[in-house]
Structure 1
Amino acid sequence: MGCCITTTHKSSQLAKLNQSEKDSSEVVVKTSVNTSMPKSQESKDVPSFQSSTNKIKKRELTDVYNIKKCIGQGSFGIVRKGQHKNDPNLIVAIKSIDKFKIKSNLHLLKREVSILQSIDHPNIIKFYETFDDGKYLHIVMEFCSGGELFEKIMEKGKINEKKAACYMEKILLAVNHLHQVGVCHRDLKPENFLFENDSPNAELKIIDFGLSNKFGDKFKHTTKMETFVGTPYYVAPEVIKGEYGPKCDLWSVGVIMYVMLTGHHPFKGETPTQIFQNVVRGELNMESPVWETISEPAKDLLRKLIVTDPNQRLCADDALRHHWFSDAPKAKIELDPNIICALRHYKPKSQMQRAALGIIVKYLSLDQIKDLRQAFYDIDLDQKGELNIDEIEQALNKCGIELPKTQLFEIFKNLDYNGTGSVKYSEFLAATISSRIQLDEHTLWMAFKVFDKDDQGFITPANVYDVLTNMGKNVSRIQVKNIIKEVDLDHTEKITFEDFKKLLSDGKINC
């Protein structure tokens, strides 16, 4: 089942591409949740769905959102459009999974939520929150109105090479970030990429992390996975063989590129078994007339992605440096000195202010963050989806700011909320947004109500703990009490809306 928007007429679209492809797409729906997942390996480090404290009155989904029409349906639940009651302009996608239909694999849902909490990139779907009503787990995410990449291919028959290169760069940026943080998607296909809106230059975003898995030493997992998951036309040969690593995603990316450029799949078959056999052989055919109009650099990248030996296959980092991208002319972009000034002077008054800004950036409109998003891309020279101290220093230098190392380290420490040694996308937005916009009372109220889950009119330590853990922050209750103490001047262990406004009122910086 698609994570965010899966159109209900997809089977008829597939029929237009190839009648045999319709049959294999139905197989995926039946096997999208694998019942043989080894729990010992793949169910660790996941959060509970329930509220972190019994003191907070349980909020229901319908307390916060008006539920609109169904926009997708699968074997285990539905995806519906939702509207936030406190902000009618905030439209979301709500994925509701019937836990009784998947009761033997609830750990997969928990892992999906854990992964959504851990990823933070402009080209990955934004996660808001979850609700658990006993029967259903509701995952609330960003709503993307621009439709699927698959639909764009169907509409045009194929994508011209210049536009395909633009899409491929966005896809690889997102995949590179996933792999940097130890997440393997395992079901990359055109249906799992959405455009944020209908504009010609809309961002492309990865969705549906239902089959994703964590890998690497930081998660106490090996770099090899064994579970047979994915979609027949896009699954890598090593997945079929039963032992694989994150480079399986790069095979899928290569197949997506092939489909964009030609309008058909490289490995076909009348049945899934035939498709799998052709995938394992991996014989890439570039002899048809359509290839006469495709450049040699594009063909070269395809040959280095669609290669059966994963050891010989490019990683996302290397693929982004392929000359197919570097040869394309790009407009020279100057960094906005005001954005760099905001980074330089960002110094949050408290951990509570940091947390509040982290919430606020989730609810800002595209118009409010569009130029900041572009600045993030420009500063992120190694294209890993996070900023390191060298990149921050180079950005400062480009704007004529040269600082002693001690000052540079202090700036970076203020930006790096979690102390991970890198600045996440949302941390970058939080550092720059407060100096660029006037936070109106409505925006502040929306953020306040995210914390005030039990509608008491004030924020308690239990509220803060619940919100921070839902954001993926690893905090203890003692740490939360200390966070509250920083702003709780009257020692009531409560933060009123007036306190909250004051906390965020003086963020504007004159550069």
Structure 2
Amino acid sequence: MSACWPFAWRPSWLQPRKDIGNVVRERLAGHALYDGKRGSNVDIKSLFFAPDPNRCMLKSYTNLKKLGSGAFGSVYKAQCRLTGEWRAVKKLPLSDVEDDMSFVYAELEAMIHLHHPNVVKFYEHFEEESAIFLVTELCDGGDFSELNHGIDDPQEVKLLIRDVVKALAYCHDHGVAHRDLKFENCLIKESARDHRVGKVIDFGLSAIRSKGEDEHTWLNEQLGTRFFVAPEVIDKSIPYGCKCDCWSLGVMLYIILTDEHPCSPDAHKLDTTTLFAKILTGRIRSRPLQEADVDYDAAELLQNLLEKNPDDRMDAQGALRSPWLADVQDSRPKLLHSPSTSDPDIKGSFHLSPVSQGMIRRLATFRHYSKFERAVLTLVAHRSEDTHVAELRDAFYTLDVSQSGSLSKNEIKEGIARCGHAVEDAELNEIFSALDADGTGKVHYTEWLAATMQPSALATDKAIKQVYHYLDIDQTGHIAPHELYRVLGCSDSVQSVLQLGDTDGDSLINEDEFRVLMRNLAKRLDQMDLHPRRLGFRLPEVNSMNQL
């Protein structure tokens, strides 16, 4: 792995080590999008903080195998004891970075903040005296250096590039600059039937914009990897924003298409000072594009991404709308299994639109769920495998017409309209408020999944085991009232759960009781098949009800 350009700002107030969880929670509250007054405490960000961070990592993961080391830590492949799944565990030694904890805070903060199909999924973290462990999904299909040597299909290369651009568009819309985009930090995850997906990883150098900061000039630290660093990052006199990532994207794409650096034919032989001079003042080389027979649309995209002036540079959403990326057809498998014609959420609507009647019904019903029901759905949705929620992901992408990586209120309204329904503004506000669990004014991917997934997912053995293990915070083998309160933050909600689940009256919920509770919960939610008019919809009389 490439060493990072070692000019990181080291804030003096971070010298004494603080409690990591508390620092990250405070930093999250200061984000430009976050509104704690509007958010709930059962959004996925809040749920990440409920487990005891000082629990032993080795009690949850086994069979650790080292995959590699970087500038700030090591990465291991590890097997989850609970589910048997393989995950990636990144170890950041606190003793090595005690005087510069900003990188540790930044990575954990970004992982908790970001939820998108093309950003590596974060599961949990563990804190020890000497190290912190970040657990994410395992992407074992190689990195983007494979794209100009190991993957021959140009359409698949284009799709994987688009995956990363989608991730960037989402990050930038949520005020996150990655600042170290390169081949090693864009991984490929392989799933069923050779289905490859691009994922962005390693947010150790990232920054999240705070309230009041200008989106174009809120950064000034000199960070990154020298081959991919943007001109404005090199120039100390120029404050910069998220478009530094778009330059790095352009460099990656140029190398993929030509096997050369855009600013120098022998960039790998140049010392840092000389390379930086070429990046700052040299012209973007056109001959390698001609020799590699790069088509017009790709060359135009590169020209727009490699503008030296960030004000003139194309942003990530613009790149997604460019002809080279916008016209590519995604032929990758959508589902692990073919959609069943008996599935009420797919029947009659799947062939017309990824947005089904069943999804919209559950979307509107979500506001009627209790705090515990929303928390459980959010946890199960977050831990769902990509292939099991593929149709929900496709519907999410379909509704995201702005290509920002999240859904606005108007996009939700349009989704309801696509299924032939109309909804009053007051009802729409109520629906959207329930979906926007973290109060950002946007519906994130995990929030969408929690609201639209089928309730039967709660009754699977895997889901029951994972949620029970999560709620058993003290790892005593049962769920106590104080553990429920730590998650739900409401005594009334705790009492309601105990009334439903504590069948032997000992004020505790054991695993057998919890299994019954979850299965009953799945049945109850599945039966909340409300008529559209009770959900606030106006529906023409001629429309059929048999798909609801």
**Equivalent residue, structure 1, for 2:34:** none
Whether the 8 Å CA contact 1:94–1:140 is kept in 2: the answer is: yes
**Equivalent residue, structure 2, for 1:65:** 61
Change (3 A) 1:82 1:183: same
Q: How does 1:53-132 map to 2 (within 5 A)?
A: 58-88=54-84, 90-132=85-127
Q: Does 1:372 align with 2:392?
A: yes
Of residues 370-379 and 220-229 in structure 1, the stretch that sits farther from structure 2 once superposed is 220-229
**Equivalent residue, structure 1, for 2:416:** 396
Question: What is the distance in 2 between the residues matched to 1:37 and 1:195?
Answer: 32
Of residues 407-416 and 137-146 in structure 1, the stretch that sits farther from structure 2 once superposed is 407-416
Cα shift at 1:459:
3.2
Change (3 A) 1:106 1:364: same
Give the aligned CA root-mean-square deviation in angstroms: 3.3
Whichever residue aligns with residue 140 of structure 1, its letter is V
Q: Secondary structure at the match of 1:293?
A: coil
Cα shift at 1:295:
1.9
Whether the 8 Å CA contact 1:69–1:81 is kept in 2: the answer is: yes
Q: How does 1:10-21 map to 2 (within 5 A)?
A: none
Question: What is the distance in 1 between the residues matched to 2:493 and 2:230?
Answer: 47
Change (3 A) 1:220 1:245: closer
Which sections of structure 1, spanning at least 5 residues, go unmatched? 1-9, 11-24, 469-478
Q: How does 1:410-421 map to 2 (within 5 A)?
A: 410-421=430-441
State which of 442, 446, 459 in structure 1 corresponds to 2:462: 442
Q: How does 1:299-318 map to 2 (within 5 A)?
A: 299-318=299-318
Whether the 8 Å CA contact 1:46–1:111 is kept in 2: the answer is: no
Cα shift at 1:461:
5.8
Whether the 8 Å CA contact 1:70–1:79 is kept in 2: the answer is: yes
**Equivalent residue, structure 2, for 1:207:** 201
The count of residues paired between Structure 1 and Structure 2 equals 471
Q: Does 1:255 align with 2:251?
A: yes
Whichever residue aligns with residue 272 of structure 2, its letter is P
Change (3 A) 1:292 1:189: closer
Change (3 A) 1:303 1:348: same
Q: How does 1:493-508 map to 2 (within 5 A)?
A: 496-497=510-511, 498-499=513-514, 500-501=517-518, 502-508=520-526
Q: Deviations over 1:219-246 (max 9, x none)?
A: 7999421211111110001101123221
Cα shift at 1:141:
0.7
Cα shift at 1:385:
1.2
**Equivalent residue, structure 1, for 2:342:** none
Question: What is the distance in 1 between the residues matched to 2:133 and 2:306?
Answer: 36
Cα shift at 1:200:
4.3
Q: Secondary structure at the match of 1:458?
A: coil
Change (3 A) 1:67 1:136: farther
Q: Secondary structure at the match of 1:346?
A: helix
Q: How does 1:145-160 map to 2 (within 5 A)?
A: 145-156=140-151
**Equivalent residue, structure 1, for 2:335:** none
Whether the 8 Å CA contact 1:46–1:114 is kept in 2: the answer is: no
**Equivalent residue, structure 1, for 2:476:** 456
Question: What is the distance in 1 between the residues matched to 2:484 and 2:208?
Answer: 27
Q: Does 1:345 align with 2:340?
A: no
**Equivalent residue, structure 2, for 1:475:** none
Of residues 143-152 and 191-200 in structure 1, the stretch that sits farther from structure 2 once superposed is 191-200
State which of 173, 178, 183 in structure 2 corresponds to 1:185: 178
Q: Does 1:484 align with 2:530?
A: no
Of residues 261-270 and 135-144 in structure 1, the stretch that sits farther from structure 2 once superposed is 261-270
**Equivalent residue, structure 1, for 2:163:** 170
Cα shift at 1:421:
2.2
Whichever residue aligns with residue 169 of structure 1, its letter is R
State which of 217, 226, 249 in structure 1 corresponds to 2:220: 226
Of residues 133-142 and 261-270 in structure 1, the stretch that sits farther from structure 2 once superposed is 261-270
Question: What is the distance in 2 between the residues matched to 1:292 and 1:56?
Answer: 54
Cα shift at 1:454:
1.5
Question: What is the distance in 2 between the residues matched to 1:341 and 1:311?
Answer: 43
Whichever residue aligns with residue 93 of structure 2, its letter is D
Change (3 A) 1:375 1:282: farther
Which sections of structure 2, spanning at least 5 residues, go unmatched? 26-47, 332-350, 530-547
Q: Does 1:47 align with 2:21?
A: yes
State which of 240, 262, 265 in structure 2 corresponds to 1:266: 262
Of residues 110-119 and 39-48 in structure 1, the stretch that sits farther from structure 2 once superposed is 39-48
Question: What is the distance in 2 between the residues matched to 1:312 and 1:438?
Answer: 49
Whether the 8 Å CA contact 2:457–2:522 is kept in 1: the answer is: no
Whether the 8 Å CA contact 2:53–2:126 is kept in 1: the answer is: no
Whether the 8 Å CA contact 1:161–1:261 is kept in 2: the answer is: no
Whichever residue aligns with residue 334 of structure 1, its letter is S
Change (3 A) 1:56 1:80: closer
Question: What is the distance in 2 between the residues matched to 1:440 and 1:160?
Answer: 38
Whether the 8 Å CA contact 2:138–2:189 is kept in 1: the answer is: yes
Question: What is the distance in 2 between the residues matched to 1:289 and 1:173?
Answer: 24
Question: What is the distance in 2 between the residues matched to 1:273 and 1:366?
Answer: 44
Whichever residue aligns with residue 201 of structure 2, its letter is I
Question: What is the distance in 2 between the residues matched to 1:481 and 1:218?
Answer: 36
Question: What is the distance in 2 between the residues matched to 1:239 and 1:55?
Answer: 38
Whether the 8 Å CA contact 2:106–2:205 is kept in 1: the answer is: no
Question: What is the distance in 2 between the residues matched to 1:53 and 1:374?
Answer: 29
Whether the 8 Å CA contact 2:8–2:223 is kept in 1: the answer is: no
Whether the 8 Å CA contact 2:21–2:49 is kept in 1: the answer is: no
State which of 377, 382, 392 in structure 2 corresponds to 1:357: 377
Whichever residue aligns with residue 70 of structure 1, its letter is K
Whether the 8 Å CA contact 2:89–2:135 is kept in 1: the answer is: yes
Of residues 213-222 and 284-293 in structure 1, the stretch that sits farther from structure 2 once superposed is 213-222
Cα shift at 1:494:
5.2
Provide TM-score, normalisation by structure 1: 0.82
Whether the 8 Å CA contact 2:187–2:200 is kept in 1: the answer is: yes
Change (3 A) 1:293 1:343: same
Whichever residue aligns with residue 311 of structure 1, its letter is D
Question: What is the distance in 1 between the residues matched to 2:62 and 2:330?
Answer: 43
Q: Deviations over 1:256-313 (max 9, x none)?
A: 1112211222132522222211111241111236556222121111111101111111
**Equivalent residue, structure 2, for 1:141:** 136
**Equivalent residue, structure 2, for 1:471:** none
Change (3 A) 1:99 1:58: closer
Cα shift at 1:38:
3.0
Of residues 273-282 and 218-227 in structure 1, the stretch that sits farther from structure 2 once superposed is 218-227
Whichever residue aligns with residue 379 of structure 1, its letter is L
Whether the 8 Å CA contact 2:116–2:405 is kept in 1: the answer is: yes
Q: Deviations over 1:127-182 (max 9, x none)?
A: 111111211111111111212111333325xx665444323322221111111111
Whether the 8 Å CA contact 1:234–1:251 is kept in 2: the answer is: yes
Question: What is the distance in 2 between the residues matched to 1:250 and 1:182?
Answer: 14
Whichever residue aligns with residue 79 of structure 2, its letter is Q
Change (3 A) 1:206 1:94: same
Identity among equivalent pairs (%)? 29
Cα shift at 1:492:
8.1
**Equivalent residue, structure 2, for 1:217:** 211
